[in-house]
Amino acid sequence: MEVRLNFCIIDSSGQPTFLSVCPVPGDSQLFYIHLQTSHYSFSIKKSCVARSGSSFYQLRSILKSHHPYLTMPSLPMLPSLWICSYHTISLQLATFLSTVV
């Protein structure tokens, strides 16, 4: 069963950004992140990367250290990545990314 969660974010210029997160088949620790945007800050308009669940926590930590005055979106507790369903984890990770993009 494929789990893919899609988000569409409209930026201030009215241009849509599409974001999806789905688990990598056969590897319970990796997730594909697909991003499609026409925003000027991205030099590559379409990309797909595979990232581990722990890299989301590292990103959150880096953002928090560089922007301590901002409220960072939450992530589930790290151990829950091993016990929750792919759908639940993908939804939480996609929600996190859609908030920080």
- When pLDDT is cut at 50, 70 and 90, the band that residue 7 belongs to is low
Question: Is residue 83 packed enough to be buried (19+ CB in 10 Å), middle (13-18) or exposed (0-12)?
Answer: exposed
Q: What is the mean pLDDT of the chain?
A: 80
Q: Which long-range contacts (CB under 8 A, 24 or more apart) does 73-80 make?
A: 73/99, 73/100, 78/53, 78/54
The pLDDT tens digits for 26-36 are 887 889 998 88
Average pLDDT over residues 56-82: 85
pLDDT for the residue 23: 87
Taking 80 as the threshold, does the pLDDT of residue 19 lie above it? yes
